[in-house]
Amino acid sequence: MASSLALIFDNKEPSERPGFRRLGLLNGLLIGAALALGSWGQEVWRLAGLPVENGYTSVILSSLLLIALCGFTGWLTSRLATSWITVGLWFITSILTALIIGYQPYIGRTLAEWLADSRAWGLPIYTSEALTKTGLIIGSILIILTLVILAILQGSRLEQAVIELSDEGRMSGKSWYILFLPLPIIILVAFVTSSWQVNPAAAAAEVVHQTIEVARTTEGDLFQLGIQEGVNYGAINAVRDQLTENYTLRIGDIDPQSSQTFILAEFDNGAWINCRTMNDQMSFCFDAMPPYSVGLLSLISGEPPPDDCRGCLIRADEEWVSWLQERASLLGPEPQTERLGQWGGYVLMRVAATDDSYAIECLFNKMSPLQLDHCRESQF
């Protein structure tokens, strides 16, 4: 009541008070935070406790972008305080918001890989082929409707909130209540929007982690246990003896057409395995190194890989096959292979002569089937 009387004596409209712009900024920041929580809260929850390398970077970056975007829009619209401008700016913001949510699993994760390792810069690591137009459109409609409605109501909400400020301009419980009131709806809309998008990585990492833990800590027949629990634990039998307690997971290749997601697991004993999931279910796991070592060496020598080397047949253009075989003599009879880095489905390998007098680097793309992207002479 005291703050209301002070406002009357002040003879200022609520939108003209200094606290109005501050409330506009705070309103925008809270809307952005609610959108981020609804969009990626479940993903963060599923990844929590999983040893996924670089798992949260893209979510953090996208969340900060959403919060900054909505905060700026909230501040600018409260500064201009014109109804049609407010609706227009929030309409543009809603479109940008829908695009950020839709492309976060692809552009966001790719940017995170670029920032983590400069050698990956420019590689299309996670493509947006899995993002359907239907999902993007439906999600955009929900976001646009919600934010436009809030834009229409923004003036009256902020005026009510500024009236409830104390004489010193401090937030009251009623002011906080007014700002927080629409947040549950925003969280729900963002959750529904993100649910329409295809983002299998978190679920795939979760099931691979579960399978590794069960295989590592359980004795007996994994196949029978899998039948009882409805998880194909037997998919990891081929590499079960390589599993250790300490390991990290990495999101590998994502193939939306076949609903396949590859998750890489690296163990402290040097083991490197590749697990394929289909529709959030385990398919099979195998030793990841032979295709990149034995398969690459077979391209260099011109001899076919051993019959028992699964996935060692590499797709490569004839010019790169010729390029490799021309350098076979420089690499010697027993060249050594080393994995230099990996970013999603891209793997960088080094092949060097035994005395390290000559070396080449080859970049692979895709995992099924394995594709040679290009090679170059190593820079010592």
> What are the tens digits of pLDDT across the range 363-375?
998 877 789 999 9
Task: Write down the mean pLDDT value for the chain.
Answer: 87
Q: How far apart are CA 95 and CA 70, in angstroms?
A: 12
pLDDT value at 8 more than 90: no
Among the residue ranges 55-64, 74-83, 217-226, 338-347, the one predicted with the least confidence is 217-226
154 neighbors 77 (Cβ within 8 angstroms): yes
pLDDT for 14:
60
User: Do you find a cis peptide bond into 369, omega within 30 degrees of 0?
Assistant: yes
Q: Is the pLDDT of residue 185 over 90?
A: yes
**Residue 130: what pLDDT?**
61
CA 275 – CA 261 distance, rounded (Å): 8
Confidence of residue 12 (pLDDT cuts 50, 70, 90): low
pLDDT in tens, 137-175: 777 899 999 999 999 999 999 989 888 887 777 888 999
Q: Looking at residue 6, what is its pLDDT?
A: 45
pTM for the full predicted model: 0.85
Average pLDDT over residues 244-248: 93
pLDDT tens per residue, range 85-131 = 999 999 999 999 999 998 888 889 999 999 999 999 999 998 876 66
- Is the pLDDT score of 26 beyond 60? yes
- pLDDT, one tens digit per residue, over 44-96 is 888 888 898 877 889 999 999 999 999 999 999 999 888 999 999 999 999 99
Query: Residue with structure tokens 């037997």?
Result: 234
Q: What is the pLDDT of residue 131?
A: 64
The pLDDT, as a whole number, for residue 4 is: 46
Residues paired with residue 267 on neighbouring β-strands, in sequence order: 247
Name the strand (E) or helix (H) holding 348: strand 346-352
Q: What pLDDT does 198 receive?
A: 63
Band (16; pLDDT cuts 50, 70, 90): low
Provide CB contacts within 8 A for 296, sequence distance 6+: 314, 337, 349, 351, 362, 372
Q: Is the pLDDT of residue 238 over 60?
A: yes
CA distance readout (Å), 277 to 54, 55, 130: 20, 18, 15
- pLDDT attached to residue 154: 94
pLDDT reported for residue 27: 96
Tens of pLDDT, residue by residue over 287-309, are 989 989 999 999 999 888 888 88
**Torsion angle defined by CA atoms of residues 80, 81, 84 and 89, in that order, rounded to the nearest 10 degrees:** 60
User: Which residue shows structure tokens 């978190």?
Assistant: 202
Whole-angstrom distance, CA of residue 217 vs CA of residue 328: 44
CB-side neighbour CA atoms (13 Å) of 110: 16
* Per-residue pLDDT band at 5 (split at 50, 70, 90): very low
